[in-house]
Structure formats: C-alpha cells, structure tokens
C-alpha cells in the first residue's frame, strides 16, 4: 500500500493533503504516517512467524517519541546507543527487559543507567567496557547480561560511511579474539554471559554479506558453547535496505529464510535491530520553493529545507525522490534542475540534475523516504530552527515535535558576566 500518494493531483499522507499540512504547520516539516510505521513493523514481525524473537527498534534511525511509542504499542523493544536514547525508549513505554544497550563507547554513567533499567542485554565492544561494567555491577551486587559485538571482517557492500563490519571499522571486537574475551567475561563478578551480537552495516541490498557474516557467527556460537558458555541470545543487528531509487532490497521474508537456514537449530532467542527498514518510507520532508535561480547554464530551485534539516544527501551523497505536491500533467514540459537549500554551503544540495516539471516560488515539494536519519541528524546551522515534525493517522494531524522559535533558539545561549550584559540576551533582567 502507498501511504503517500496522489489524489486528484495532490499528494496525500494517508487521508491528509500535504497542502493542508503546509498551510497549518508551515514548512519545512517532517510528516510521518502512523499506518506505514505499523505496517512495516507487522511485515517484519510476520516474516518470523512464532519464532522466539525480539525486534529491538533501532532508535537512532528516528528518535521521535511518537514513532517509538507506535512501535512500543506493537510490542517492539529498542536498540539504544546512549543514555538519552535509553530514556526515550523507557519514556515511550518500552520496559528494560525489551531494551538492548549497544554503542561503541559507553560511559560509566550510561552503564549505570542500563543497569538501573535492567536492560535485556548489553552489547559490549571492548575489554575495557567489560571490565568497567563488571566493577559497577559487582559494587551494586547485581548481574549485567552481556554479549560481545563481534566484527566478522565482512564487507557489507554498502556506502563506506555506513559499513561497520570490516576490520578497519571502529565497531566491535575482532571475531578471532572473541573466545578469549568470553572466557574473561565468564570469570568476572557481576557479569552474566547470555549471547553474541553482530551488525555489519546499514542499507544492505544483497543477502550475501548477511550470509557470510551469519555463517561466521554461527561457527563462533558453536565454539563458545563448546567452551562452556550458555549462549542463548543471538543478536543479528539490523541493516536491511530499503528502496530509495532503483534498489531491489531483499524482502523481510527472504531475510527471515536466510536466518532460519543458519540459526534455526540453535534454540536461541533471535534479536533484530531494524531501523531504516521500519521508518524510511514512513516519512517525507515537506518543503516550499523560495525562488528559481539561473546561473550560466544551470537552473537552481531553492527550497526552504536545507542540509541542516536533512543531512543525508550532503553526508552520504544519498539520492531521495523529490516530487511536486501538486502533480504536473503527464505531458507537462520538464527541465533539469538542481534542488538546493538556502544554507551557506556548496554542499547544500538535496537533489542534483533532476528532471522536474516547471516549479515556481511558493510551490511545494516532498522529499521522499525521509523517515530514517532525517530529523535525528538535523542541526541549527546558520541559526535555523529545526523543522517541525507531524504524524498523520487517517485524516488526523498531530504535531509530534513543534518548531523552535528564533527567540527560544537564541535564548538558549548564556553570556558571561564580564560582558556586562544580561545572562540571557532575550531577558533584560538577566533571568535564567
């Protein structure tokens, strides 16, 4: 089903016109479909039937509370990589027993927070992390349930900046060192070894890298069991790709078939950490054309969304569909344009060399598949307030993150006393 589709020439989110959203909320604004989130979760869960699994939604993909709560209501757990994400998951109603605490560098404060929440599993990434957790847990007279994230040195064949399972990447521990680390973990106080963890990257569109990595992990599990470790949880991470342009990613069902083939006989709980696969196509970024600019032979469409709102094109050279909200006639003349933002950077390009029907100032465009790694990676660069976020449910619209006003944004700064001005430049009395 398409949750974003044209009706009578106007693009809709479920039963809500994007024109209406722009008029009521303003632009730029992220819009998420509640129905799409639920359907994506159901498709993933149904692929595994009644197997013993935990779907731990990867909060880093989209950390809005409304998104996390939607998945929580579906029965999801959470994969978190910071204390902030842990608190977001808990606030959304996900109990610690369904939370996996990942992250390449966990502070002692974060380890303590994970223990307090009684998380389902700590995914450890170093000997130092293990020893810190052991000391903290032993002092509290509790047991921390742990797995090591192992690096299988497998090329995920994805973008260099989102590959995480090669030996040159910072993540995990080398798989050849894992048995020694598990032996150490089994000897330390406050530690309960429960599983293994692996995540080789994001936006994988081929099952072959998964097959290679999973096969190496299966060999490790067998070796660890022979060593006497009670491995009963296998965390296979996330990484299943989505369609942005012309990709043909594996279906959840084919992915589940591969997992079953390799791990079906292990008798373990299987943990998955999907993020992009659940939220990418459930969101769009709605923007308005500011002006059309001609320079030499190039034509620029300047819109009010920018790289600070949506970093993926600048950071990853990512391609996202960009469509007019009001559909052009089939025979409408098109031109090649660069769709850019107003930020003072040459890299502020949302779409280069796009064939678009003629656009004019005031027209609306929708950047598609923007539900993952969109708002979460945004910044206030150029002192631009973050885009608002809304969620639609049938014909209803809810603001799930309001747009910060300029006085609120600038008012967060505090001036030192020696400048002889109010601490808060927006407060003449210097109140905090």
Q: How many CA atoms lie within 13 A of 400 on its CB side?
A: 24
Which residue in 267, 184, 186, 237 sits closest to 61, CA to CA? Answer: 237
Q: How many CA atoms lie within 13 A of 141 on its CB side?
A: 0
CA distance 415 to 66: 35
CA distance 415 to 14: 46
CB 343 within 8 A of CB 382: yes
Which residue in 155, 171, 166, 246 sits closest to 204, CA to CA? Answer: 155
CB 292 within 8 A of CB 302: yes
DSSP state string for 411-427:
TT----GGG-S-SSTT-
CB 361 within 8 A of CB 403: no
Q: Is the peptide bond before 117 cis (omega within 30 degrees of 0)?
A: no
The alpha-helical segments, DSSP class H, found in 192-311 are 207-226, 252-263, 276-279
Give SS3 for 36: helix
Give SS3 for 250: coil
Options 31, 74, 326, 344, the catalytic residue: 344
Cα dihedral 64, 67, 69, 75 sign: negative
DSSP letter assigned to residue 373: S
Strand partners, 292: 301
74 is catalytic: no
Give SS3 for 404: coil
CA distance 100 to 53: 13
- Residues annotated as catalytic are 344
């Amino acid at each position: 089903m398409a949750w974003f589709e044209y009706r009578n020439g106007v693009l809709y989110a479920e039963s809500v016109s994007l024109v209406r959203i722009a008029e009521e909320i303003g632009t730029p604004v992220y819009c998420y479909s509640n129905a799409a989130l639920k359907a994506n979760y159901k498709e993933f869960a149904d692929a595994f039937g009644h197997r013993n699994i935990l779907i731990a939604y990867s909060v880093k993909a989209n950390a809005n509370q409304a998104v996390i709560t939607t998945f929580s209501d579906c029965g999801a757990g959470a994969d978190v990589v910071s204390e902030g994400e842990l608190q977001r998951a808990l606030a959304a109603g996900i109990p610690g027993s369904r939370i996996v605490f990942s992250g390449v560098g966990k502070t002692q404060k974060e380890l303590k927070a994970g223990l307090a929440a009684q998380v389902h599993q700590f995914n450890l990434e170093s000997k130092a992390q293990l020893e810190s957790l052991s000391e903290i847990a032993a002092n509290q007279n509790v047991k921390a349930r742990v797995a090591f994230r192992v690096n299988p040195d497998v090329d995920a064949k994805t973008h260099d900046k989102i590959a995480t399972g090669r030996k040159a990447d910072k993540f995990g521990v080398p798989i050849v060192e894992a048995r020694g680390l598990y032996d150490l973990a089994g000897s330390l106080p406050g530690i309960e070894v429960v599983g293994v963890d692996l995540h080789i990257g994001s936006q994988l569109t081929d099952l072959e890298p998964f097959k290679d990595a999973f096969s190496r992990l299966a060999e490790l599990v067998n070796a660890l069991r022979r060593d006497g470790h009670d491995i009963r949880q296998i965390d296979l991470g996330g990484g299943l790709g989505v369609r942005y342009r012309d990709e043909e990613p594996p279906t959840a069902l084919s992915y589940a078939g591969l997992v079953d083939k390799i791990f079906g006989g292990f008798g373990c709980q299987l943990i998955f950490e999907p993020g992009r696969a659940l939220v990418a196509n459930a969101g769009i970024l709605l923007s308005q054309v500011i002006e059309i600019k001609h320079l030499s032979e190039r034509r620029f469409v300047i819109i009010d969304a920018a790289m600070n709102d949506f970093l993926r094109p600048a950071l990853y050279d990512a391609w996202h569909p960009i469509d007019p909200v009001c559909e052009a006639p089939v025979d409408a003349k098109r031109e090649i344009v660069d769709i850019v933002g107003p930020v003072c950077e040459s890299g502020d390009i949302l779409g280069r060399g796009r064939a678009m029907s003629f656009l004019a100032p005031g027209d609306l465009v929708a950047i598609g598949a923007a539900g993952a790694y969109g708002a979460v990676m945004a910044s206030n660069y150029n002192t631009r307030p973050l885009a608002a976020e809304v969620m639609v449910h049938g014909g209803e619209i809810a603001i799930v993150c309001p747009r910060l006003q300029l006085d609120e944004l600038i008012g967060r700064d505090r001036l030192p006393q020696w400048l002889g001005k109010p601490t808060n430049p927006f407060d003449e009395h210097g109140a905090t």
